[in-house]
Amino acid sequence: MHNRIKTQLARGESSIGTWQMIGHPVVSEILAQAGFDWVVLDIEHGVFDWPTALGHVQAIQGHGCPVLFRLPISAPEQFKWALDTGAEGVIVPMIRTVEDAQRAIGYAKYPPEGERGISIGRAHAYGAAFDDYVATANAETLVALQIEHIDAVRNIEGICALPGLDVVFVGPYDLSGTMGLMGQVTHPEVEAAMAHVVRVAQQAGIVPGLLIMNPKPSEIAQRVAEGFRFISIGLDTKMLLDAAREMAARR
């Protein structure tokens, strides 16, 4: 297994992906062809289910684009279902404590580093590449933990000290809500919390990540300059709505 996203990040580059909520493989194919570095399939809030998830992975990877799952919860079966499809990694929601983070990392790793269940699936080429996959999966699987609660910000030093963690991914909308500032994602207090996450992550050698739902023309470059290197931009539902409204307004 070789993870292009991790190679990109290891070179010090920025990695820019997008977010899919609509559970149809045509949307997966369109996003995979758009030029993003990766596509996230959102199982937490999107219109997906596990029985159909494999088709989306095949559609995206079929165009040479890596795929990640945003899991609905941090539970061992969720990691197995996601990673056995051959996805390059997982984004784990609502991490609040060091213990939460440690469990999530362990669910993504085979023994002895973790407790991921061992089976034979698409990730292993249905057995043809089993030895190669299990030998490299712990190092190559991307693990991103969502920092979307103020408790996680308070515990960020301990979280970033854990081995096996690649990205701390700030979710500004949930974070603002847990700070009593619902939806005020650019409020100075929210920005200060995000900046603290970036500083601690950089000191620990962990990549800071961020969701930008509707980036302004200069916002991506600005966030990269602030230290965020793993950035998801846009949302398929929002992109469709914005484009449709703009088209309808031309009449």
Whole-angstrom Cα distance, residue 84 to residue 16?
Answer: 24
Tokens of 94: 């609502």
In contact, 52 and 81? CB cutoff 8 Å? no
Whole-angstrom Cα distance, residue 11 to residue 222?
Answer: 20
Written as one letter, the residue type at 181 is L
In contact, 23 and 47? CB cutoff 8 Å? yes
56 is catalytic: no
Cβ neighbours of residue 153 closer than 8 Å, sequence gap 6 or more: 147, 175, 193, 196, 197
Q: At which residue do the structure tokens 């992550």 appear?
A: 201
* Residue 30: φ, ψ to 5°: -65, -50
Task: Give me the helices (H) in the chain, please.
Answer: 4-10, 25-32, 50-61, 76-83, 98-107, 130-140, 150-154, 156-160, 172-178, 188-204, 219-226, 236-248
In contact, 236 and 19? CB cutoff 8 Å? yes
| DSSP code of residue 127 | G
* Residue of 45, 56, 63, 124 with catalytic role: 45
Among all residues, which ones are annotated catalytic?
45
